[in-house]
A and B are shown apart, each in its own frame.
Chain A
């Protein structure tokens, strides 16, 4: 064997290793763009699609077209539909990339972003806020998302503190078990409060089922910093997750510090999930089906799956939200119901076609 008989091109094997190619990103971005466009053009209030397109073009610097939209119609586009679409993009992307990262770091295909107590903690926080009447405020100072965020931070914090203290070994099992226990505890408290204050039962339920209704751009602005930080970390760690796939001990022998990777990724993914939950309630299923659907198409490499999950997750949630607000318009379906109702059969279909290679 000669290390130095290296050529400039990989002519020996004739194919390339797993890599996020421009083609994949372009393909996913097309799906994203189409989802955004569809969501912008369709809605309970019917506005002529060509006029919406003109209205958007008009806002691009250097182009000036009269869209012919009334002020109310323009406001519907810019202050109702668009912020909601952007929020959907962020929440869907966060949940999917967090799911992909959790599955990578736990080496478990069933790991989802709510795993370590994010959902139960947020549920308790939100319930407390609703019951205590702190949610009547408008805009930035609405206490509900803050309470939900704090709830999930506390729950995940307890899980990591307890599970992490045990899991000095290479096992992540104690972390998962701690997560299960913490989630049960928080759910129990949440249920107790919810049952005692039955007047707000409906409001609590509607939060739990998830929704993307917004009051302008406030929610977007609120979670943007957390979204940016957590996505930055998860995208940065995606290559390391591929090394971690051979287990923590082998990863260490390859020069990685597995514990550091584990904590960083878990912290970032939990932050992402908690921010998403804070503004949207519990939207089921996105964190599981999107990464798996991506995996079935492009293979198991986290280098590819993690960033593509972000894009596809964003598209998926925007599209399901479109269904949620148009199917029974003017009434709205809870988005969590729609993601599961359409997501589950789709996933079963993909799973069946994949011959079970998950």
Chain B
């Protein structure tokens, strides 16, 4: 049940030349990157650059060529159930089933640990309940997920991902639907879990400021390939954003924090 501290000692995620084809189009073209255990990799890039496909390939939701290893283990050779005990993914637009209460929805995260009948045990319920109250959802746990506000709903979805007790958490633009306050709230929450549990986080971002503030490292995707990777300060520059996004921006640095300000000419 416990995510012990020992799990984070070994190495992290090693991706070796993976290629993803959708139809006859290569959406990911021989990408290699390594992420240390316990780090947060922010993935940025223009629309259609392959951010989502990259995350989905790691989670085994689309077929890919190449090797994806986590702590030395080849993830592609695992069954979906075994993989789901290591990775959880928060999709960009999750499907929220109608008339399902928060507790039942969060309990879906226990699926990879359940036996044949898929009936959660008392331990599963207790785990879900403690995550729910830690994420400050205790008061709404009896409500339907479909009836919740955007910020609450996103917390519920992250609760489901955490209840899965992953070692690797994949987020696909987790803050797109949220206002600024809720964006920060959700990202702080994930960052706290990362630090407490030693989670390795990979997150695709639209917002470059948030991407650089939360990522300990960063990868910039262009046309299904990583154009640049490394420290956010090296990647987020006025020149690179002009070149790749076709955007006019002003970069404002405050210590280690980067702020990307759109500039009208």
Interface centre among A2, A5, A13, A16 (most CB of B within 10 A): A13
Residues of A within 8 A of B98 (CB): 300, 357-358
Q: Are A17 and B104 in contact (CB under 8 A)?
A: yes
Residues of B within 8 A of A236 (CB): 116-117
Residues of B within 8 A of A295 (CB): 99
CB within 8 Å for A300 and B100 given contacts A6-B1, A6-B130, A255-B111 = yes
Residues of B within 8 A of A256 (CB): 80-81, 111
Q: Are B97 and A253 in contact (CB under 8 A)?
A: no
CB within 8 Å for A253 and B61 given contacts A19-B119, A300-B99, A357-B98 = yes
User: Is B132 among interface residues, defined by CB-CB distance under 8 A?
Assistant: yes
CB within 8 Å for A357 and B99 given contacts A12-B129, A254-B111 = yes
CB within 8 Å for A246 and B108 given contacts A13-B138, A254-B84, A300-B99 = yes
CB-based nearest B residue for A239? B118
Residues of A within 8 A of B60 (CB): 252-253
Provide the bound-state CA to CA distance between A17 and B107, in Å.
Answer: 8
Provide the bound-state CA to CA distance between A310 and B114, in Å.
Answer: 25
We find that the number of chain A residues with CB closer than 8 angstroms to chain B is 41
CB-based nearest B residue for A170? B61
User: Is A8 among interface residues, defined by CB-CB distance under 8 A?
Assistant: yes
Residues of B within 8 A of A239 (CB): 114, 117-119
Q: Are B99 and A17 in contact (CB under 8 A)?
A: no
- A-side interface mostly: loop
Provide the bound-state CA to CA distance between A254 and B97, in Å.
Answer: 15
Residues of B within 8 A of A8 (CB): 122, 126
CB within 8 Å for A252 and B125 given contacts A3-B3, A239-B119, A246-B108 = no
Tell me the smallest distance from the CB of B252 to a CB of chain A, in Å.
Answer: 34
Q: Are B108 and A13 in contact (CB under 8 A)?
A: no
Residues of A within 8 A of B100 (CB): 245, 300-301
User: Is A240 among interface residues, defined by CB-CB distance under 8 A?
Assistant: yes
Residues of A within 8 A of B104 (CB): 17-18, 242, 301
Tell me the smallest distance from the CB of A297 to a CB of chain B, in Å.
Answer: 12
Q: Are B118 and A243 in contact (CB under 8 A)?
A: yes
Q: Are A254 and B108 in contact (CB under 8 A)?
A: yes
Provide the bound-state CA to CA distance between A6 and B138, in Å.
Answer: 15
B53-108 residues with Cβ-Cβ distance < 8 A to A are: 56, 59-61, 79-85, 87-89, 91, 94-101, 103-104, 107-108
Q: Are A255 and B107 in contact (CB under 8 A)?
A: no
Partner of A242, one of B80, B94, B95, B118: B118
User: Is A197 among interface residues, defined by CB-CB distance under 8 A?
Assistant: no
User: Is B164 among interface residues, defined by CB-CB distance under 8 A?
Assistant: yes
Residues of B within 8 A of A5 (CB): 130
User: Is B175 among interface residues, defined by CB-CB distance under 8 A?
Assistant: no
Bin the interface of chain B by size.
35 or more
A9-43 residues with Cβ-Cβ distance < 8 A to B are: 9-10, 12-13, 15-19
Q: Are B61 and A249 in contact (CB under 8 A)?
A: yes
Tell me the smallest distance from the CB of A111 to a CB of chain B, in Å.
Answer: 15
A97-154 residues with Cβ-Cβ distance < 8 A to B are: 107
B121-170 residues with Cβ-Cβ distance < 8 A to A are: 122-123, 125-134, 138, 141-142, 162, 164-165
CB within 8 Å for A6 and B127 given contacts A17-B103, A243-B118, A357-B98 = yes
A230-257 residues with Cβ-Cβ distance < 8 A to B are: 236, 239-240, 242-243, 245-247, 249-250, 252-257
Tell me the smallest distance from the CB of A103 to a CB of chain B, in Å.
Answer: 12
Q: Are A18 and B101 in contact (CB under 8 A)?
A: yes
Q: Are A303 and B119 in contact (CB under 8 A)?
A: yes
Interface centre among B80, B116, B128 (most CB of A within 10 A): B80
Tell me the smallest distance from the CB of A249 to a CB of chain B, in Å.
Answer: 5
Provide the bound-state CA to CA distance between A342 and B7, in Å.
Answer: 61
Q: Are A10 and B129 in contact (CB under 8 A)?
A: yes
Interface residues of A (CB under 8 A from B): 1-10, 12-13, 15-19, 107, 236, 239-240, 242-243, 245-247, 249-250, 252-257, 295, 299-301, 303, 357-358
Q: Other than A13-B138, A16-B125, A253-B61, give 9 A-B pairs with Cβ distance below 8 A.
A: A4-B2, A10-B129, A12-B130, A239-B114, A243-B111, A245-B95, A253-B88, A255-B81, A303-B118
A–B complex contacts, Cβ < 8 Å, 26 sampled: A1-B130, A1-B134, A2-B130, A3-B3, A4-B1, A6-B130, A8-B126, A10-B122, A10-B126, A10-B129, A13-B103, A13-B133, A16-B125, A18-B101, A239-B118, A240-B118, A245-B95, A246-B97, A250-B94, A250-B95, A252-B60, A253-B84, A253-B91, A255-B79, A255-B111, A303-B119
